[in-house]
Amino acid sequence: MAKIGNIDVGGFPLLLAPMEDVSDPPFRALCKEQGADVVYTEFISSEGLIRDAAKSVMKLDIYEKERPVGIQIFGANLESMLQSVEIVEKSGPDIIDINFGCPVKKVVSKGAGAGILKDIPLMVSLTEAMVKHTKLPITVKTRLGWDQDSIKIVEVAERLQDVGASAISIHGRTRVQMYKGDANWAPIAEVKNNPRMHIPIFGNGDVDTPERAMEMRDKFGLDGAMIGRASIGYPWFFKEVKHYFRTGEHLPPPTMEERLDAARRHLQMAIDWKGEKLGVFETRRHYTNYFKGIPHFKEYRQKMVTSDDAADVFAAFDEVEKEFSGYEFV
């Protein structure tokens, strides 16, 4: 059984990764329904939060049904991070996660996200200060290191644990790799195998089949899997992994009806939460996967991803239902 602070998250939990413009309340709700054990918000800028920037503040919305839920923040300035902890606490999350892994230039150039991998003492002192500033468990999400020559994740993880981090999720790539190459899980297993470690170590990067999730558990011995891209437009992934763990069998893929139901609800929840314009826009990236594999689908997908009007997207779903009802996915 893995525990994040006092929160029991089960044996080999599956965590929905924080993903910008993806891990929002509607999508988190769908993933939760399909078996995600812990969900995280997308990253939220500490500088945005303390300026009360509307975009950052809206990302703090969380709902009872998605617990346990972690709110992820990023930044490199101690004062801003501590003030953000206070702001975040008011939303009542179960966990606060620190992003020490984002490789994007605009984040890294300010020393935040993966930028902090160049300043491990700051990474540790920020974590320590945040742990002391709240009663909520603080978790850390990071990468293996800045580059291949500076992978010190075993030592870094120990130090984070020593200052009170409650769990660490490690993406098996360096900052320099961005998203290229394959994720390397061996150094994550080294962290886990360090006899001094006792907090959960979650593996992340390229878990895209139930078999890979099982490998992370059985071959690499990690405490849980954090899942990102495999869930985009495919919240069923969590259920499929759990079914495979239980039975060794693959679930049949979701039916057209299930996919349409998810797409419709996703869009409606997104509109309810952030209004029609943004709701329509930000749900687009999911449609490719919701309807993956259907031949001659381009025309329908085109309507879904180019229309600014929710009614047109719903009409496209209706057309798909009429045209492809009963389509058998493989």
Ligand X SMILES: Cc1cc2nc3c(=O)[nH]c(=O)nc-3n(C[C@H](O)[C@H](O)[C@H](O)COP(=O)(O)O)c2cc1C
Q: Which residues are catalytic?
A: 102
The residue among 19, 22, 16, 26 whose CA lies nearest residue 69 is 16
Q: Which whole-number Å values give the CA distances from 272 to 60, 102, 107, 177, 245, in the listed order?
A: 16, 29, 30, 37, 35
Write phi, then psi, for 203 (nearest 5 degrees). Answer: -90, 150
Q: How far apart are CA 214 and CA 234, in angstroms?
A: 19
Query: Would the CA dihedral through 200, 203, 207, 210 be positive or negative?
Result: negative
Residue nearest to ligand X (CB): 228
**Of residues 72, 127, 177, 184, which one binds ligand X by CB under 6 A?**
72
Annotated binding residue 72: yes
99 binds ligand X (CB under 6 A): yes
The interface mask with ligand X, positions 160-179, x = CB under 6 A, is -----------x--------
Q: Does 291 bind ligand X (CB under 6 A)?
A: no
Determine if 87 is a binding residue for ligand X (CB under 6 A): no
Question: Which residue, 133 or 143, has its beta carbon nearer to ligand X?
Answer: 143
Q: Is 282 among the residues that bind ligand X (CB under 6 A)?
A: no
| CA angle (237, 242, 248) in 5-degree steps | 110
Region near ligand X per CB under 6 A, out of 86-94, 97-105, 216-224, 233-241? 97-105
101 binds ligand X (CB under 6 A): yes
Q: Report the residue from 26, 228, 235, 279 that binds ligand X according to the rule CB under 6 A.
A: 228
- Contact between 185 and ligand X per CB under 6 A: no
Select 101 or 279, whichever has its Cβ closest to ligand X: 101
- The answer to whether the annotation marks 228 as part of a ligand binding site is yes
Member of 3, 20, 176, 214 binding ligand X (CB under 6 A): 20
**Is 207 near ligand X (CB under 6 A)?**
yes
* 254 scored as a contact of ligand X (CB under 6 A): no
* All residues at 6 or more sequence positions from 189 whose CB lies less than 8 Å from its CB, including other chains: 220, 221, 222
Structure tokens at 278: 């943004």
User: What per-residue string of b and e applies to 85-124 under the rule 16 or more CB within 10 Å gives b?
Assistant: bebbeeeebbbbbbbbbbbeeebbebebbbbbbeebeebb
Query: Does residue 144 interact with ligand X by CB under 6 A?
Result: no
Question: What is the SS3 assignment for 29?
Answer: helix
Among 29, 62, 102, 263, the residue binding ligand X under the rule CB under 6 A is 102
CA distances from residue 232 to 18, 117, 227, 272, 292 in whole angstroms, order as listed: 12, 27, 10, 20, 12
Rg of the chain over Cα atoms, rounded to whole angstroms, equals 20
By the rule CB under 6 A, 206 interacts with ligand X: yes
The phi, psi pair for 233, rounded to 5°, reads: 65, 15
What tokens does 205 get? 């990067």
Choose between 68 and 228: whose C-beta lies nearer to ligand X.
228
Residue 104 CB, nearest distance to ligand X (Å)? 9
Between the alpha carbon of residue 18 and those of residues 191, 215, 309, 320, the distances in Å are 22, 22, 28, 31
User: Is 248 known to sit in a ligand binding site?
Assistant: no
**For the range 55-58, what are the long-range contacts, defined as Cβ-Cβ under 8 Å and sequence gap of 24 or more?**
58/274
At closest approach, how far in Å is the CB of 44 from ligand X?
A: 8
**Binding residues for ligand X restricted to 29-68, rule: CB under 6 A:** 42-43
Give yes or no for residue 19 binding ligand X (CB under 6 A).
Answer: yes
Name residues contacting ligand X, limited to 104-143 (CB under 6 A).
141
In the annotated binding site, the residues are 72, 141, 171, 228-229
In the annotated binding site for FMN, the residues are 72, 141, 171, 228-229
Binding site for ligand X (CB under 6 A): 17-20, 22, 42-43, 72, 99, 101-102, 141, 171, 204-207, 227-230
